[in-house]
């Protein structure tokens, strides 16, 4: 029985894992950290001072399959939120096996989450990591919260600016909720993203509109 199967069966009362403490099992795992932004994806191992890999968050399209006929690469995110899941799987395959040269079945994975990412996207990330890469454990945390932690803070106001979205997010006592408090805008347009429509999309589990 592999670790992934063990975790799934433990929820149904598997006697093999009945007395096991999940926290103790996970302590032996080395963790990969993946931060996928609109422009670039940064990845490395937990505890490293800087990313081991920085690659474009793009997937190339063969010229013969490209409708435009130019074989261009397209970003897999819109305003920092994943919209191309097949592309994300290909990108992370490159990150695991080529950039970091690790075996995901033997590692825990921490993935950063964009401020406007809907709950449905976090569920898809878990599905992708467990089913496509067979990771034994994973966690998705808001990027703004991890920024605060990196400065040794559990409360504060985090300001971030990337290629697809800039944002201001409040952090209170180690929590990035509620997400209604997040202010975000498109840096290329220098104007706020429509707050009402984005909040409606988040509540319905949809990605932000263009």
Q: What is the CA angle 33-160-181, rounded to 5? A: 105
Class of CATH domain 3-203: alpha beta
Q: Whole-angstrom Cα distance, residue 40 to residue 66?
A: 22
Look at residue 50 in the predicted model and tell me its pLDDT: 92
How confident is the prediction along the chain (210 residues), in pLDDT tens digits per residue? 333 333 433 343 333 334 455 556 555 668 999 999 989 999 999 988 899 999 999 887 655 554 544 445 577 988 788 999 999 999 999 999 999 999 999 999 999 998 878 889 999 999 999 999 999 999 999 999 999 999 999 999 998 888 777 888 889 898 886 666 677 766 655 445 555 445 544 444 454 554
Q: Whole-angstrom Cα distance, residue 144 to residue 84?
A: 23
Strands 77-78 and 81-82: antiparallel
Which strands make up the sheet holding 53-56, listed edge to edge? 53-56, 40-45, 30-36, 107-113, 137-142
Look at residue 2 in the predicted model and tell me its pLDDT: 36
Rounded to 5 degrees, φ, ψ at 96 are -65, -55
Domain boundaries, the chain: 3-203
Look at residue 62 in the predicted model and tell me its pLDDT: 58
pTM score of the predicted model:
0.72
Look at residue 5 in the predicted model and tell me its pLDDT: 36
Q: Are 80 and 57 in contact (CB under 8 A)?
A: no
Cis peptide bond prior to 34, omega within 30° of 0 = no
Look at residue 22 in the predicted model and tell me its pLDDT: 53
Rounded to 5 degrees, φ, ψ at 171 are -120, 125
Q: Whole-angstrom Cα distance, residue 20 to residue 28?
A: 14
């Amino acid at each position: 029985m592999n670790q992934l199967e063990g975790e799934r069966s433990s929820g149904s009362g598997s006697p093999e894992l009945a007395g096991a403490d999940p926290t103790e099992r996970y302590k032996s795992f080395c963790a990969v950290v993946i931060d996928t932004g609109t422009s670039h994806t940064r990845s490395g191992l937990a505890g490293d001072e800087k990313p081991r890999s920085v690659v474009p968050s793009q997937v190339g399209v063969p010229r013969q399959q490209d409708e435009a006929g130019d074989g261009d690469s397209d970003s897999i995110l819109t305003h920092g939120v994943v919209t191309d899941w097949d592309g994300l799987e290909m990108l992370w395959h490159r990150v695991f096996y080529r950039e970091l040269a690790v075996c995901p079945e033997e590692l825990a994975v921490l993935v950063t989450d964009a401020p406007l990412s809907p709950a449905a996207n976090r569920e898809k990330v878990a599905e992708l990591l467990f089913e496509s890469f067979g990771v034994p454990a994973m966690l998705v945390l808001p990027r703004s919260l991890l920024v605060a932690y990196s400065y040794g803070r559990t409360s504060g106001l985090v300001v971030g600016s990337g290629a697809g979205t800039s944002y201001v997010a409040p952090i209170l006592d180690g929590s990035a909720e509620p997400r209604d408090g997040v202010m975000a805008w498109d840096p290329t347009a220098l104007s706020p993203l429509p707050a009402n429509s984005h909040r409606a999309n988040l509540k319905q589990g949809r990605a932000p509109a263009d």
